[in-house]
Amino acid sequence: MKTLKLIPILLCVFMLNVASMCSNDDNNSNPPADPTPVINTVNQGTWRITLYNDSGTIKTSNFTGYNFTFGSGNALTATNGSNAYNGTWSVTSGDSNDDNPSNDLDFNIGFTTPANFADLTDDWDIVTYTASKIELRDVSGGNGGTDLLTFEKN
């Protein structure tokens, strides 16, 4: 009989213990990530797109043969020898409330023309980067689709 009376008490103690382990994640006190290493990486050499996945549709071939230069003054140039398109780029500390709060850097790309380059215009989340590869991701606010973009150094 005493065992049956102890079960509710033990259950309450267990629940209080679990509740005390929960924390409020609304106040993210982590400082923003430093964009300088990413900026220094992309400023070196030319890059090519090795993956552009637009919400499940692979559109990498739209950029075949183009070399991208992430220049000073946020100047972005894409050229294939006969065509050249100018845009802008930057790497900024992102919003900790975005879709990838563990990585607080946004890789911002802006093109106005042509249409397939304008599709790259967004504030991409940096998934990973190395000296030779940068993987980006964006979750669309409109349709909720996920876009993936990968640049690799030439």
Residue 8 has pLDDT above 50, yes or no: yes
| pLDDT value of position 139 | 86
Residue 137 has pLDDT above 60, yes or no: yes
- DSSP letter string, 14-36: HHHHHHHH---TT---PPPPP-H
pLDDT exceeds 70 at position 6? no
**Residue whose entry in the numeric block shows the structure tokens 């033990």:** 10
Q: Is residue 13 scored above 90 in pLDDT?
A: no
The whole model's pTM is what? 0.74
Tens digit of each residue's pLDDT (9 = 90 or more) over 79-126: 999 999 999 999 998 654 444 444 579 999 999 999 999 999 999 999
pLDDT of 147 over the 80 cut: yes
- pLDDT tens digits, residue range 26-80? 444 445 588 999 999 999 999 999 999 999 999 999 999 999 999 999 999 999 9
The Cα–Cα gap between 109 and 122 comes to: 6
Measure Cα distances from 96 to 36, 99, 102 in Å: 18, 8, 8
The pLDDT assigned to 17 comes to: 47
Residue 16 has pLDDT above 80, yes or no: no
Residue 9 has pLDDT above 80, yes or no: no
pLDDT (mean) for 8-24: 46
**Residues 41, 128: contact at Cβ < 8 Å?**
no
